[in-house]
């Protein structure tokens, strides 16, 4: 088997695993966490639920950003494999839930104040693009199914930020860097995604959710394989 054929087969297998295994699992987790938040966080007051969700979604990533090097050194640098495995999985789970809450809070507030129509969708996309493109952060809008990260000991907790400032070198600058990434870059991405979702909801067979979902999945496959 020649090299080109091996690369072709590897690419096909990678696409199948990413699109049909990892992507549905990620979506399933997000739907489950989002629904639990709907039920558990002030379910009787959607506005208050969104604000609390946003607060949690800001505080937890902020703490993980400021202390990421300490976590990497203490947990990933620990010689015991079981210590790393247990604490890293707890970390991933907490961070994942916080990410869902971070998105959920702003998403609900945007639906609440901007409505659900073409103007709202296009405005949300435009705001996201206007902020992400000058910051050179548009790649943050790219995620599953083709963007896949594996769990591993190396750099498990030390993730990149906008300015990549370490807390042990300049704590104040690190705090500003963390807030900038979470609020400006993070929420700009939410604006873009929410607008795209809203646009598809109102444009692609809005009267038939099953058909709309099927069309969107087929479009996604066409884009990914092109």
* Domain total of the chain: 1
Relative orientation angle of helices 23-40 and 81-114, to the nearest 10 degrees:
70
Tens-digit pLDDT profile for residues 166-219: 888 889 999 999 999 999 999 999 999 999 888 888 877 667 666 666 655 555
Q: Is 98 exposed, middle or buried (0-12, 13-18, 19+ CB in 10 A)?
A: buried
Q: Quote the domain boundaries for residue 204.
A: 3-225
Choice among 15-29, 80-94, 142-156 with the minimum mean pLDDT: 142-156
Q: Is 52 exposed, middle or buried (0-12, 13-18, 19+ CB in 10 A)?
A: middle
Closest CA to 50 of 41, 59, 58: 41
Identify the DSSP state of 151.
Answer: -
What are the two backbone dihedrals, phi and then psi, of residue 137, each rounded to the nearest 5 degrees?
-125, 20
Tens-digit pLDDT profile for residues 122-172: 999 999 999 999 999 888 887 655 677 777 777 788 788 888 888 888 899
CA dihedral 61, 66, 71, 77 (to 10 degrees): 130
């Amino acid at each position: 088997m020649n090299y080109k054929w091996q690369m072709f087969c590897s690419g096909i297998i990678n696409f199948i695993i990413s699109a049909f295994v990892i992507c549905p699992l990620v979506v399933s987790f997000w739907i489950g966490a989002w629904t639990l938040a709907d039920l558990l966080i002030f379910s009787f007051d959607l506005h208050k639920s969104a604000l609390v969700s946003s607060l949690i979604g800001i505080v937890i990533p902020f703490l993980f950003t400021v202390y990421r090097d300490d976590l990497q050194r203490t947990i990933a640098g620990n010689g015991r494999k079981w210590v790393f495995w247990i604490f890293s999985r707890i970390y991933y789970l907490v961070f994942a839930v916080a990410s869902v809450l971070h998105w959920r809070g702003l998403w609900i507030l945007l639906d609440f104040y901007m409505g659900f129509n073409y103007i709202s969708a296009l405005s949300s996309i435009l705001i996201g693009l206007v902020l992400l493109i000058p910051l050179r952060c548009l790649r943050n809008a790219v995620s599953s199914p083709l963007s896949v990260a594996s769990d591993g000991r190396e750099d498990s907790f030390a993730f990149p930020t906008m300015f990549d400032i370490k807390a042990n070198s300049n704590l104040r600058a690190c705090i500003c860097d963390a807030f900038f990434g979470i609020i400006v870059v993070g929420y700009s991405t939410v604006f873009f995604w929410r607008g795209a979702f809203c646009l598809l909801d109102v444009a692609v067979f809005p009267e038939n959710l099953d058909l709309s979902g099927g069309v969107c999945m087929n479009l996604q496959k066409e884009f990914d394989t092109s």
